[in-house]
Amino acid sequence: MTAISHHHTPRVYLQRFTSRKPKNQLWEYDLTNGAAKQSTPVKSGCEDYYNSVVLTDGRRDDETIEKAFHPLENDLPKLFEAVRNRQEMTEELWGVFFAFVAIQEARCPSTLRTIHDFQRQIHQSGFEMVCNRSVEFRKKLTHAGVEPDRAAAEFELQASKGSALLLSLQAIEETARILSRLRWGFICAPHGKFFFTSDRPMCRWVSRNKRTIYTGGLADRDAEITFPLSRAVCACGHWTKSWPNTYNETSFGMVDTINRRTVWNASQFIYGPRMDIHIMELVKNRRRSRGMDVTR
């Protein structure tokens, strides 16, 4: 039987952010309502038909893209185990890491939403142009009982989500290549402190004094990239900074800073091992910045 619930944030990844006791418990924070609830990796990070594509004959392909992610996701436990035990990273493991980061950025909800909105605008503009300029098309509209001059206002063309996903996935190889050129290190949270993740875990960050209208891209030489790999470890990449060791202990304050970035960068959901008052406040602040009221 074909599964209709597709994960944009893999279960094997979310498992790294669950609590130890009770086992397999994941806290899910929602930016749309400013609330948090208990969940699991199976129930979180997914959406019905997220990886589905509508074919030219009208049928829906629910499996091809979904299965294309399986080989990489099957390799992720090796990466997570190596990081958990603070082992030296092999070329193979680095390859898995770069591919995973690139894929998560390509298939996250906010990336797809941006591409989907752009495609919709293109389709709508094309439709309006045809309505205004094609005599033959205007005749067909009239024959169908539609006023040609009102058609563009009455009908809205939509691109399929699958087409947006396919377009986004084309950037994976180039993104992974750029990521491989950065200098990477893993920073480890102190005992009792945890990293949180989100449905858009790769965060690009530029300090305030270096921000311009041209900054913020992955290849920006002032950019810092963070990607939480578990509740205990976060990957951090720089173009210029050299790391003293592959694994580096960090402070409570740095974990808070990275979690703040993670919340601010999220599409909608933040995930972590516990109900955290500080994370909850960040979620509410982020929601306020989107112009929504938060019930206290």
- Per-residue pLDDT of 156-212, as tens digits, reads 766 666 777 777 788 889 999 999 999 999 999 999 999 999 999 999 987 665 555
Answer whether residue 137 shows pLDDT above 90: no
How many domains are contained in the chain? 1
pLDDT at 293: 47
Answer whether residue 294 shows pLDDT above 50: no
Mean pLDDT of 122-150: 82
Asked if 155 and 234 count as a contact pair (C-beta separation under 8 A), the reply is: no
Mean pLDDT of 110-133: 77
User: What mean pLDDT, rounded, does the chain reach?
Assistant: 87
Whether residue 294 lies inside any domain: the answer is: no
Q: How confident is the model at residue 296 (pLDDT cuts 50, 70, 90)?
A: very low
Q: How confident is the model at residue 20 (pLDDT cuts 50, 70, 90)?
A: confident
Whether residue 104 lies inside any domain: the answer is: yes
Asked if 107 and 169 count as a contact pair (C-beta separation under 8 A), the reply is: yes
Whether residue 71 lies inside any domain: the answer is: yes
Residue matched to tokens 């959901």 = 269
**pTM for the full predicted model:** 0.84
- In terms of Cα–Cα distance, which of 193, 199, 200, 214 is closest to 257? 193
Whether residue 296 lies inside any domain: the answer is: no
Element (DSSP H or E) covering residue 5:
strand 5-7
pLDDT at 66: 87
Asked if 16 and 50 count as a contact pair (C-beta separation under 8 A), the reply is: no
- φ, ψ dihedrals at 287, nearest 5°: -65, -40
The residue segments making up the domain with residue 241 are 5-289
